[in-house]
Amino acid sequence: MRNLEVMNLTPLLTLEGDSLTETGWHSPPRYYTWTIGCQMNKADTERLESALSQLGFVAARGPADADVIVLNSCVVRQSAEDKVVGAITSFKPLKTRQPQRVIALMGCMVGPRTQQLEKQFPFVDAFMRPQQYGPLLNLVGERLGIDWEGCLGPLAPLHPQVTAYVPIIHGCDEMCSFCIIPYRRGREVSRPILELTREVELLVHRGVQEVTLLGQTVDAYGNDLSDKPDLADLLYAIHDIEGLQRIRFLTSHPRYMSERIVRAVADLPKVCEHINLPFQAGDDDVLQRMRRTYTRDDYRRLISTIRTIIPGVSLSTDVIVGFCGETEEQFQRSVDLLEEVHFDKVHIAAYSPRPGTIASHAMPDDVPHEEKERRKRRLEEVQERIATAINLGCVGQEVEVLVDGREKGRWKGRTRTDKLVFFDSEKDIVGRLVEIKVEKSSPWALQGSII
Ligand code: SF4
């Protein structure tokens, strides 16, 4: 998973003068959330917001207006961690001004031991590991005098958008040497198929048209369950839900992407023909040091199988440059793999050691910062050229787009192959499936007109 992005980060608002109840909070109490990181973090925040709403909270206009502030953190890269520290620090004056306000830190920054964080941020009231909402809900329950466990129904978002994330497997068993996630999110735990179909039915009832099934290794779904269902079984189970238009899933691991899953994508009309399959490095020695459990040739064979079984599939990937000991020659193999596969989208990261990972204590971070940045730019240039050519090939085609909102005065949505499309319409068409004739393209998006 990737896509660092800050959501719901509005400027600190000063909204003094609203009256507070004897709890020291507004009536009804107000929450504010700040989230950074991958889609799984966004889904976790939505579920916590659903819990708070069920306990009577409403969304605050900004942090200064909130009785409970929650920061959902990411530490997968140093830059994300720095943003989290900056955000927590910026909320400290709000706590000083109104000590009854509760500040909670959740997500991957919170490990099994919190003493260090408690020392660093003494004004934070609750620390929660990913999906462990108990510490905050206990505090809230005590303050409101309610038994929160007795009050909560399913945590699916109460007012979802047209598209929704559905976590289907938590944690990761892979232990890639550069990655902190298994230490923070724990071992893989899959949710039962029945629970997931009920959740998707509920989401569809609330207006959702497209679900994205989420996991750090989404294609390992079911390995830990007693009857060993796999992702294909889940896709078949969800596919027949009436009113649901599209199904996506991410992030896949090459080790678990079975032919059975690939055939399910090809067979089921609602499952979109797009697969995100991180390769991380194009060289076998680097892959071995990363503990990625496949070779470059395994990966190439898998891509060939996917393309044979799902004609027109779009592919995206993740790659890390400048991993410990990566030579220029080894880096060039990542460039070559990009040139050979022609991915639709590539997420490129420069390696930064994460304390607590195998790589951080056993392998020297010996590629200089400037060199990592140069390699990153080089891959970006290669990918920009490839994506330009692929998207140019879409011009003149008619594509199905699920309209999910507006941006800069235009409607926007995604194709089945996960391409962003902009177009105009006088009508409110959010949530509609429309046919678009593509007229223009860039490496990042398409533009067109409704047919
Ligand atoms: S598969 Fe590897 S990179 Fe992905 S979450 Fe698990 S350990 Fe991290």
pLDDT digits (tens, 9 = 90+) for 211-229: 999 999 999 999 999 999 9
Please state, for a pLDDT cut of 90, what percent of the chain lies above it.
89
Beta carbons within 10 angstroms of residue 118's beta carbon: 11
| Predicted pLDDT of residue 18 | 65
Ligand 1 pocket test, pick from 38, 75, 174 with the greatest ligand atom count within 8 Å of Cβ, gives: 174
Q: What is the mean pLDDT of the chain?
A: 94
Of the pLDDT bands very low, low, confident and very high (cuts 50, 70, 90), residue 151 is: confident
Do residues 183 and 269 share a domain?
yes
Do residues 233 and 339 share a domain?
yes
Which of 105, 130, 151 is where one domain is finished? 151
Average pLDDT over every residue of 31-46 = 95
Tokens 């009309």 belong to 269
| Predicted pLDDT of residue 435 | 98
Residues with CB under 6 A from ligand 1: 172, 174-176, 179, 181-182, 216-217, 253
Which of 406, 385, 407, 396 minimizes the C-alpha distance to 436?
A: 396
Tokens 């990009």 belong to 338
- Check pLDDT > 90 for residue 170: yes
Average pLDDT over every residue of 8-32 = 67
Name the token pair of 210: 């497209």
Which of 364, 392, 420 is where one domain is finished? 392
Ligand 1 nearest-atom number relative to CA 185: 5
Do residues 383 and 307 share a domain?
yes
Do residues 143 and 214 share a domain?
no
Please state the separation of Cα 173 from the chain's center in Å.
18
Strands 398-407 and 345-350: unpaired
Residue nearest to atom 8 of ligand 1 (CA): 179
Do residues 279 and 367 share a domain?
yes
Q: Which comes out higher in pLDDT, residue 199 or 10?
A: 199
Question: pLDDT (tens digit, 9 = 90+) per residue, 277-320?
Answer: 999 999 999 999 999 999 999 999 999 999 999 999 999 999 99
Ligand 1 nearest-atom number relative to CA 172: 6
Do residues 233 and 337 share a domain?
yes
| Residue 261 buriedness (CB in 10 A; 0-12 / 13-18 / 19+) | buried
| N-to-C CA span, the chain | 35
Question: pLDDT (tens digit, 9 = 90+) per residue, 317-369?
Answer: 999 999 999 999 999 999 999 999 999 999 999 999 999 999 999 999 999 99
Do residues 202 and 98 share a domain?
no
Residue 156 lies in a domain: no
- Domain membership of residue 404 as a residue range: 398-450
Do residues 319 and 361 share a domain?
yes
Name the token pair of 107: 């997500």
Give me the sign of the Cα torsion angle 137, 138, 142, 148.
positive
| Predicted pLDDT of residue 111 | 85
Do residues 114 and 223 share a domain?
no
Residue 158 lies in a domain: no
Question: pLDDT (tens digit, 9 = 90+) per residue, 235-247?
Answer: 999 999 999 999 9
Ligand 1 nearest-atom number relative to CA 291: 2
Residue 50 lies in a domain: yes
Ligand 1 nearest-atom number relative to CA 217: 1
Do residues 167 and 38 share a domain?
no
The model's pTM: 0.92
Average pLDDT over every residue of 195-219 = 97
CATH of the domain at 444: 2.40.50.140
Give me ligand 1 centre to Cα 352, in Å: 15
Residue 190 lies in a domain: yes
Do residues 183 and 147 share a domain?
no
Average pLDDT over every residue of 64-76 = 95
Give me ligand 1 centre to Cα 267, in Å: 28
Which of 128, 151, 174 is where one domain is finished? 151
Domain count across the chain:
3
Alpha-carbon distance 215 to 194, whole Å?
17
| Predicted pLDDT of residue 1 | 57
CA distances from 289 to 17, 251, 279, 326, 371 (A): 58, 21, 13, 10, 19
CATH of the domain at 105: 3.40.50.12160
Residue 233 lies in a domain: yes
Alpha-carbon distance 212 to 228, whole Å?
21
SS3 of the chain: CCCCCEECCCCCCCCCCCCCCCCCCCCCCEEEEEEECCHHHHHHHHHHHHHHHHCCCEECCCHHHCCEEEEEECCCCHHHHHHHHHHHHHHHHHHHHCCCCEEEEEECCCCCCCHHHHHHCCCCCEEECCCCCHHHHHHHHHHHCCCHHHHCCCCCCCCCCCEEEEECEECCCCCCCCCCHHHHHCCCEECCHHHHHHHHHHHHHCCCCEEEEECCCHHHCCCCCCCCCCHHHHHHHHHCCCCCCEEEEECCCCCCCCHHHHHHHHHCCCECCEEECCCECCCHHHHHHCCCCCCHHHHHHHHHHHHHHCCCCEEEEEEEECCCCCCHHHHHHHHHHHHHHCCCEEEEEECCCCCCCHHHHHCCCCCCHHHHHHHHHHHHHHHHHHHHHHHHCCCCCEEEEEEEEEECCEEEEEECCCCEEEECCCCCCCCCEEEEEEEEECCCCEEEEEC
CATH of the domain at 248: 3.80.30.20
Residue 247 lies in a domain: yes
Question: pLDDT (tens digit, 9 = 90+) per residue, 258-279?
Answer: 999 999 999 999 999 999 999 9
Do residues 220 and 115 share a domain?
no
Residue 1 lies in a domain: no
